[in-house]
Structure 1
């Protein structure tokens, strides 16, 4: 994945200027895996660690593409877009510098919140994949849904999920500044289906301005670990959250990934 572009080129195309949206590879609720606890992990995450881990298998590029969800896996009128278009989805509302004065522990918490915004912009919330990685994007009106399947180093992957689990407390509300403009960001935890070996879900809300008008960007972000692999979903936009579709993507997508890792063809979509 290319490094984050300079601020001058991280600007939405004219077609998107009236509605800046982003869907990135994202996160999951109820973290958990087999292993020792990490500071800041919630009780729900510890409970999730009691699940039987998925068998280890190597995910190929073809397998990752087969594991991607389709339009039939999610509700409403989502339309799949070209991969080249989805790869360039970024949102200018996520650009900015976190105001350190908002935090009691200052730099430590501010750094976590800055990492959250930067990784949402760069589509690498779980870190850089260590193996196969495929993504697919869907659009519905002014909302977008970005879905990714990728292989990671398991330790780093679980560390990322555990880190995400601390964000609703560390980054519950903070301010970012960019070019003299201020935006308010809120982060809360959202529940996800009890699937996979570990999961974490977040809702990130950014209040600011777009095209000179007040705007609120709402993103539901979910990640689910299956062995050394993970799915990430980011869904939402300026029209509000897309929680139902994100939940369906998690439910259907996790099963598709498990089927692929087991050497099976994913079952037909329910719709």
Structure 2
């Protein structure tokens, strides 16, 4: 949003020829200045810049901000059971022995696995939230819009930013003792929203008796005190174009909701 500076009145006081003229001019100026200040105050009060921040996200607003099939390239189909999705490859206890000099990093890596499995990457929302999911072959896109507190969001985004260093590679063990290698790298996102953090998480392990690799693009984008989080990928890898589309169009939809508008069904019609 472009911020327009409001015009301020200016006056040039001509040199006085006599003391009486100077006093008269000063008195007139004082009267004029008072009226100008009142006009300025009225103008500022009615300006959009003085309006309050967007109202708290409602459940209906969160649902309206979710991406749709029309927003996604490819053959993605929306599913009804996204809230029940859980990937067993994300279940495991982090091997603390991998963190010889920074034991606290192991706790951060454990939190990442747990939050990815529980679908609460940024922690529990403090307000309204909505979730949807799409499937294309063996790939899944799980997408959420939710309201949070600003302090909590700042902390969560700082934590996400630290993970490619703290959790670049580690081992996790499942309940049967099977070991999995997890790698976390930074993944770029379009420069949209007020803040953003992208990761790519790969988990190599055994599934159904076969060695396999789960690859997930993980994204978090903040708009005010609301945020979008989603994971995109599967056993066949993650499609970067879909990640980019979901980030761009999802952020645009949330901004439309913040502006008090209902996002258009056709993504090309969203400003």
Shorter-chain TM-score: which interval? 0.7 to 0.9
User: Is 1:226 aligned with 2:204?
Assistant: no
Cα distance in 2 between the residues matched to 1:243 and 1:150: 23
Partner of 1:129: 125
Partner of 2:145: 149
Q: Which runs of 5+ in 1 are unaligned?
A: 1-53
Give the counterpart of 1:208 among 202, 205, 217.
205
Partner of 1:22: none
- Structure with max Cα Rg: 2
Bigger mean CA deviation after superposition, 260-269 or 180-189: 260-269
Contact map agreement 2:172 2:181 (CA 8 A) in 1: yes
Give matches, 1:146-185, under 5 Å.
146-178=142-174, 179-185=176-182
* Cα-to-partner distance string for 1:202-239 (whole Å, 9 max, x where unaligned): 00000001100010000000010001100111000000
SS across alignment from 2:84: coil
Structure 1 segments of 4+ aligned residues over 6 angstroms from their partners: none
Give the counterpart of 2:100 among 104, 122, 132.
104
Deviation of the 1:270 alpha carbon: 3.4
Give matches, 1:62-141, under 5 Å.
62-82=60-80, 85-141=81-137
Q: Which has the higher contact order (CA 8 A, sep 6+)?
A: 1
TM-score, structure 2 as length reference: 0.78
Contact map agreement 1:100 1:106 (CA 8 A) in 2: no
Contact map agreement 1:64 1:133 (CA 8 A) in 2: yes
Contact map agreement 2:54 2:259 (CA 8 A) in 1: no
SS across alignment from 1:216: strand
Cα distance in 2 between the residues matched to 1:57 and 1:104: 47
Contact map agreement 1:56 1:228 (CA 8 A) in 2: no
Give the counterpart of 2:243 among 246, 259, 265.
246
Partner of 2:41: none
Give the counterpart of 1:187 among 169, 176, 184.
184
SS across alignment from 1:265: coil
SS across alignment from 1:240: coil
Q: Which runs of 5+ in 2 are unaligned?
A: 1-51
Higher helix share: 2
SS across alignment from 1:116: helix
